[in-house]
Amino acid sequence: MRGINEINYEKQLIEIITHDTYILSILKAVEKLNLIDAWVCAGLIRNKIWDILHNTKTPINDIDVIYFNSSDTSWETEKQLENELRILLPNEPWSVKNQARMHLKNGFNPFTSSYDGVAHFPETPTAIAMRICKKEFEILAPYGTQDLFELKVRPTPFYQKNSEYYSKYIERIKKKKWNQIWRNLTIEP
């Protein structure tokens, strides 16, 4: 059951995105593809919130779009979808990934949905996705949005499971150097 803080953070997230014409255009472009279980996720959303909470603006490195289609897991289809998004919004760093094949990247069991894919992201504030569906905002956040808004970075349960995954989490944190960009983060460990 979601607590009052979680509900308030979700409302706050929707409010922020509602007033961001750039992210709105991205969500609307993805919606036009009519993909199954499609979401905009990870850094675009995370960085937007962290930027606001730190009164800064960081560059957009990529726009992660995920969807789930177990009947077509080809890399070529993902590239075709990126090209379609480039037609809708040119010059953007699109990255489209079918979660039906992404389990192979880290040796997980096959994912069953985009939710399952996001649940396997390394950190809790990154494991967040959004979309517009039938003119309504939807949030997919297996671990909630509290860590995102409270500037806490910790591994998701799948990256806490064993030392190999936890080591990947630690390597990623060191490589990203988020605490040098957003100084108020609390990073576990």
* Nearest Cα to Cα of residue 128 among 163, 119, 137, 136: 119
Give residue 1's pLDDT.
52
Rounded CA gap, 4 and 6, in Å? Answer: 5
pLDDT single digits (tens) 72-118: 999 999 999 999 999 999 999 999 999 999 987 777 889 999 999 99
Residue 167 near residue 173 (C-beta atoms within 8 A)? no
Domain residue limits, the chain:
4-150
Which CATH number is 4-150's, of 3.30.460, 3.40.50, 3.30.110, 3.30.70? Answer: 3.30.460
- Provide the β-strand partners of residue 141: none
Radius of gyration of the chain (CA): 16
Structure tokens at 66: 């995920």
Give residue 4's pLDDT.
67
Give residue 2's pLDDT.
59
Give residue 6's pLDDT.
75
Give residue 55's pLDDT.
97
Residue 1 near residue 93 (C-beta atoms within 8 A)? no
Residues of the chain predicted below pLDDT 50: none
